Amino acid sequence: MSFFLKHSKSNVRFWSGRCDPSAKGWTLILLVTAFITQTVFVYADSNPTTQLEGQALEGRQIWLANNCQACHQLYGFGGFLGPDLTNAASRINQDQLKDRLSMGKGLMPKFELNPTEVDSLWAFLEEMDLTGIGQARNPSLNAVHKTNDATTSPGETSLGQIIGESGNKLVSEGFEIYKSGTCTACHVLFGKSMFGAPDLTLTANRLESNEILQILEHGKPPLMPPSGLSPDQRMSVEAFISFISEHRQDALARVDDESWISFWLSVPWWEFE
């Protein structure tokens, strides 16, 4: 017992000798500043509270009843075995959700939900997607603007401008195929998707043209199926992938900087009701 008391006292002397009053004062100032800053962001939140109704509310009950929050997060609240699903409706479609629920994947088990329950859960995820961005991201690359069922970021917009200026018809056709949903179901540009699919703006840096064409034709087990594209379409997509890898930095340079203050103020700091 005396050994532990002696050891504890020596630890106190060790840290007391290195934490002089000025260091303690600065630490306290930093903690108070962090608390005040967080408080300002919380109470400056101008985002309206989302009141769920109808089918979306039923979907929330299904979410809770099946303990989805044990593995997934909404606005960062929940478990960490699976991805944050606040904006899942921007990344997958309803059929993909149904397949994932019925078959499971990796650590995710299969769920026996009937079609009405799947519809309700999808309505809930769609409603959540409309409330804002669930995870803090680089605002210059991840601000999302909805156009029908597709999403585009400033990075994708700048790529579109560069492709248009190039006048390359083959690349333009490949870009349209990419945006049609064939590729966006799993891939994103300038980042890794929730499915682990690689950033296509980097693909041509590690694969030759013939390798890209082969993957488009035959897929890449276990996750990527054959694209189902015609030979001409595969040529267009390969040209697009090679082009965006070559012009990646040009596209990033065109992205307008956003104010970090306005970005953090736009984050919904309160959980939905």
Looking at residue 15, what is its pLDDT?
A: 55
Distance CA 34, CA 209 (A): 50
Over residues 5-18, the mean pLDDT reads: 55
**CATH number assigned to the domain covering 144-254:** 1.10.760.10
Looking at residue 64, what is its pLDDT?
A: 93
Alpha-carbon distances, residue 151 vs 31, 84, 122, 138, 208 (angstroms) = 39, 17, 18, 16, 28
pLDDT at 91 over 90: no
Classify burial at 147, counting beta carbons within 10 Å of its beta carbon; exposed 0-12, middle 13-18, buried 19 or more: exposed
Q: What percent of the chain has pLDDT over 90?
A: 27
pTM over 0.85: no
Over residues 58-67, the mean pLDDT reads: 94
Over residues 23-29, the mean pLDDT reads: 81
Q: What is the pLDDT of residues 191-203, one digit of tens each?
A: 766 667 888 889 9
Coil, strand or helix: which one is 226? coil
Tell me the domain boundaries of the chain: 54-137, 144-254
Looking at residue 258, what is its pLDDT?
A: 45
8 pLDDT band, cuts 50/70/90, is low
The answer to whether 54-137 and 144-254 have equal CATH topology is yes
Architecture of the domain spanning 54-137 = Orthogonal Bundle (1.10)
Q: Which residue has the tokens 């919380």?
A: 42
CA nearest neighbour of 50 among 117, 123, 113: 123
